[in-house]
Structure 1
Amino acid sequence: MTRRLTRRAFLASSTAATGFVLLHPFSARAQTGQAHLRILTTTDLHCHAQAYDYYGDRPNDTLGLSRTASIIEEIRAEATNTLLVDNGDYFQGNPMGDWMAYEHGMNEGDIHPIIAAMNTLGYDCGTLGNHEFNYGVEFMDRVNAGANFPVVSANFGASLGATPTEDSLHLPPYVILDRMVRDGDGTEMPIRVGIIGFLPPQILQWDRAHLEGAYNVRGIVEAAEAWVPRMKEEGADIIVALSHSGISASEYEPMMENASLYLAGVDGIDAVVTGHQHLVFPGSNHEGEGIDATAGTLMGKPAVMAGFWGSHLGIIDLMLARDGDGWTVANAESSVRPISQRNEDRSISALVGDYAPVVDATAEAHASTLEYVRAEVGQTEVPLYSYFALVADDPSVQIVSDAQKWYVTDILRGTEHEGLPVLSAAAPFKAGGRGGAEYYTDVPAGPVAIKNVADLYLYPNTLMAVRITGAQVREWLERSAGMFNQITAGQTDQVLLNPDFPSYNFDVIDGVTYQIDLTQPSRYDNDGNVVAPDAHRIVDLQFNGAPIDEAAEFIVATNNYRAGGGGHFPGADGSTIIFRAPDTNRDIIVRYIVQNGTISPAADGNWGFAPAPGTTVLFETGPAAEQYLGEVRARGVLMEAAGPGENGFALYRIAL
Structure 2
Amino acid sequence: MSSLLDLHPMTRRSLLGGLAATGALVVLHPFAARAASNQAHLRLMETTDIHVNLMPYDYYADKPNDTLGLSRTASLIDGIRAEATNSMLIDNGDLLQGSPMGDYMAYKKGMKAGDLHPVMKAMNVLGYDCGTLGNHEFNYGLDFMFNTLAAAKHPIVCANLTKGQLASDPKNDELFFKPFVIIEKKIKDGAGHESPVKVGFIGFVPPQIMVWDAKNLEGKAQTRDIVEAARAWVPVMKEQGADIVIALSHSGIDAKGPSEKMENASLYLAGVEGIDAIFTGHQHLVFPGPKTWDGMQGVDAVKGTLMGKPAVMAGFWGSHMGLIDLLLEKDGKSWKIVDFTSEARPIYHRDEAKKIIADTKDKPEVVAAVQEEHEATLAYVRTPVGKTSAPLYSYFALVADDPSVQIVSNAQLWYIKDMLKETQYKDYPVLSAAAPFKAGGRGGADYYTDVPAGDIAIKNVSDLYLYPNTVQAVLITGAQVKNWLEMSAGMFNQIKPGSKDADLLNLDFPSYNYDVIDGVTYEIDLSEPAKYDKDGKEANPQANRIKNLSFNGKPIDPQQKFVVVTNNYRAGGGGKFPEIAGDKVIFVGPDTNRDVIVRYIISQGTINPSADGNWRFAALPGTTAVFQTGPKGRPFASKVIGAKIEDAGDGTEGFAKYRLIL
C-alpha displacement of 1:544 = 6.2
1:70 aligns with 2:75: yes
1:115 aligns with 2:127: no
Partner of 2:226: 220
Give, as a single letter, the amino acid of the residue that structure 1 aligns with 2:198.
R
Partner of 1:183: 189
> 2: distance between equivalents of 1:350 and 1:385?
34
1:94 aligns with 2:99: yes
Deviates more, 1:197-206 or 1:320-329: 197-206
Tell me the TM-score normalised to structure 2 length.
0.68
Partner of 2:342: 334
Deviates more, 1:338-347 or 1:181-190: 338-347
Whether the 8 Å contact between 1:393 and 1:608 is mirrored in structure 2 is: no
> 2: distance between equivalents of 1:591 and 1:448?
13
Partner of 2:540: none
C-alpha displacement of 1:476 = 12
1:289 aligns with 2:301: no
Partner of 2:320: 312
C-alpha displacement of 1:343 = 1.8
Whether the 8 Å contact between 1:384 and 1:445 is mirrored in structure 2 is: no
Give, as a single letter, the amino acid of the residue that structure 2 aligns with 1:196.
I
C-alpha displacement of 1:246 = 0.8
1:144 aligns with 2:149: yes
C-alpha displacement of 1:338 = 0.6
1:363 aligns with 2:375: no
Compared CA separation, residues 484 and 135, structure 1 to 2 (3 A): farther
> 1: distance between equivalents of 2:483 and 2:156?
37
1:589 aligns with 2:601: yes
Q: CA RMSD in A?
A: 5.0
C-alpha displacement of 1:400 = 3.7
> 1: distance between equivalents of 2:187 and 2:151?
28
Give, as a single letter, the amino acid of the residue that structure 2 aligns with 1:34.
Q
Compared CA separation, residues 35 and 514, structure 1 to 2 (3 A): farther
> 2: distance between equivalents of 1:297 and 1:635?
56
> 1: distance between equivalents of 2:39 and 2:486?
51
Tell me the TM-score normalised to structure 1 length.
0.68
Give, as a single letter, the amino acid of the residue that structure 2 aligns with 1:172.
K
> 2: distance between equivalents of 1:479 and 1:220?
40
> 2: distance between equivalents of 1:21 and 1:484?
53
Whether the 8 Å contact between 1:374 and 1:450 is mirrored in structure 2 is: yes
Alignment of 1:385-400 (within 5 A): 395-400=403-408
Give, as a single letter, the amino acid of the residue that structure 2 aligns with 1:207.
D
CA-to-aligned-CA distance 1:230-263 (integer Å, 9 cap, x gap): 0000000001101111111111112111111111
Whether the 8 Å contact between 2:88 and 2:129 is mirrored in structure 1 is: yes
Partner of 1:298: 306
The alignment partner of 1:110 has SS state of coil
Alignment of 1:418-497 (within 5 A): 425-426=431-432, 443-446=449-452, 448-453=456-461, 456=464
Compared CA separation, residues 403 and 265, structure 1 to 2 (3 A): closer
> 2: distance between equivalents of 1:370 and 1:479?
43
C-alpha displacement of 1:138 = 1.6
> 2: distance between equivalents of 1:303 and 1:162?
30
Bigger Rg over Cα:
2
CA-to-aligned-CA distance 1:427-474 (integer Å, 9 cap, x gap): 659989xxxx9xxx9743447422224775899xxxxxxxxxxxx996
1:201 aligns with 2:213: no
The alignment partner of 2:337 has SS state of strand
Give, as a single letter, the amino acid of the residue that structure 2 aligns with 1:212.
E
Compared CA separation, residues 355 and 604, structure 1 to 2 (3 A): farther
Partner of 1:383: 393
> 2: distance between equivalents of 1:206 and 1:476?
30
Whether the 8 Å contact between 2:432 and 2:564 is mirrored in structure 1 is: no
1:48 aligns with 2:56: no
Give unmatched runs, 5+ long, in structure 2.
1-19, 417-428, 468-474, 491-505, 525-529, 537-544, 568-581, 589-594, 619-628, 645-662
CA-to-aligned-CA distance 1:169-190 (integer Å, 9 cap, x gap): 1111111011100000110001
C-alpha displacement of 1:96 = 0.3
> 1: distance between equivalents of 2:516 and 2:272?
37
Partner of 1:251: 257
**Aligned positions, number:** 525
Compared CA separation, residues 257 and 168, structure 1 to 2 (3 A): same
Compared CA separation, residues 58 and 173, structure 1 to 2 (3 A): same
Whether the 8 Å contact between 2:112 and 2:144 is mirrored in structure 1 is: no
Partner of 1:25: 30
Give unmatched runs, 5+ long, in structure 1.
1-14, 409-422, 460-471, 488-492, 498-502, 523-536, 560-566, 574-582, 610-624, 637-656
Give, as a single letter, the amino acid of the residue that structure 2 aligns with 1:305.
M
Whether the 8 Å contact between 2:548 and 2:555 is mirrored in structure 1 is: yes
C-alpha displacement of 1:141 = 0.9
> 1: distance between equivalents of 2:431 and 2:599?
17
Percent same amino acid among aligned pairs? 50
C-alpha displacement of 1:395 = 4.6
